[in-house]
Structure 1
Amino acid sequence: MNGEFIPADQGVISVRTHAFAYGTGCFEGIRGYWNEEDQQVYLFRAREHYERLLRSCKTLQISIPYTADQLVEISTELVRRNGQKEDVYLRPVAYKDAQIIGVRLHEVSDAFLLTAEPMGNYVEIGGLRCGVSSWRRIDDNAIPARAKICGAYVNSAFAKSEAMQNGFDEAIMLTNEGHVSEGSAENIFLVVNGELITPAPSENILLGITRDTVIQLAQREFGMITRERQIDRTELYVADEIFLCGTGAQIAPVIEVDHRLIGDGKTGPVGQKLQDLYFDVVRGKRPEYRDQWCTPVHSSVNAASLD
Structure 2
Amino acid sequence: MAHKPSQLIWHNGHFVPWWEAKVHVLTHGLHYGSSVFEGIRAYATDKGAAIFRLRDHVERLFESARIHRMQIPYSQDDLFDACKQIIRVNRLTNGAYLRPIVFRGYGEYALAPSPQLPIEVAIAATEMGAYLGAEGLERGVDACISSWQRPAANTFPTMAKAGGNYLNSSQISMEAQRHGYQEGIALGTDGMLSEGGGENVFLVKKGVLYTPPTSAAILTGITRDTVMTLAQELGYEVRQQTMPREALYVCDEAFFTGTACEITPIRSIDGLTIGNGSRGPITHELQDLFFGLVKGKLADRFGWLDYVGGGEIEVEHDLHSALA
TM-score where L is the length of structure 1 = 0.94
Structure 1 residue 93: deviation in Å? Answer: 0.4
CA distance in 2, matches of 1:125, 1:99: 44
Query: Aligned residue for 1:19?
Result: 29
Q: Of the candidates 102, 125, 137, which is equivalent to residue 125 of structure 1?
A: 137
Query: Aligned residue for 1:142?
Result: 155
Query: Aligned residue for 2:266?
Result: 254
Q: Of the candidates 171, 178, 192, which is equivalent to residue 165 of structure 1?
A: 178
CA distance in 1, matches of 2:114, 2:249: 45
Quick check: 1:90 aligned with 2:98?
yes
Which residues in structure 2 correspond to 1:262-273 (within 5 Å)? 262-273=274-285
Task: State whether residues 89 and 312 of structure 2, in contact with CA within 8 Å, keep that contact through their aligned partners in structure 1.
Answer: no
State the SS of the aligned residue for 2:147. coil
Q: Of the candidates 288, 298, 303, which is equivalent to residue 276 of structure 1?
A: 288
Which residues in structure 2 correspond to 1:1-307 (within 5 Å)? 1-35=11-45, 37-38=46-47, 40-107=48-115, 108-123=117-132, 124-126=136-138, 127-220=140-233, 222-289=234-301, 292-299=303-310
Misfit runs of 4+, over 4 Å: 300-304
Structure 2 counterpart of 1:275, one-letter code: Q
State the SS of the aligned residue for 1:76. helix
Count of aligned positions: 300
Unmatched segments (≥5 aa) in structure 1 = none
Q: Deviation string for 1:30-53 (max 9, x for gaps)? A: 001112x33x11100010000000
Structure 1 residue 303: deviation in Å? Answer: 9.3
When residues 301 and 68 of structure 1 are mapped into structure 2, their CA distance, relative to the original with a 3 A threshold, is farther
Structure 1 counterpart of 2:256, one-letter code: L
Unmatched segments (≥5 aa) in structure 2 = 1-10, 316-324
Q: Deviation string for 1:175-223 (max 9, x for gaps)? A: 0110000000000001111111000000000000000000111111x11
Structure 2 counterpart of 1:242, one-letter code: A
CA distance in 2, matches of 1:301, 1:216: 36
CA distance in 2, matches of 1:205, 1:275: 22
Structure 1 residue 302: deviation in Å? Answer: 7.4
Structure 1 residue 301: deviation in Å? Answer: 10
The Cα RMSD (Å) is: 1.6
Task: State whether residues 67 and 160 of structure 2, in contact with CA within 8 Å, keep that contact through their aligned partners in structure 1.
Answer: yes
Structure 1 residue 99: deviation in Å? Answer: 2.9
Identity of aligned residues (%): 37
Task: State whether residues 50 and 306 of structure 2, in contact with CA within 8 Å, keep that contact through their aligned partners in structure 1.
Answer: yes
Task: State whether residues 33 and 86 of structure 1, in contact with CA within 8 Å, keep that contact through their aligned partners in structure 2.
Answer: yes
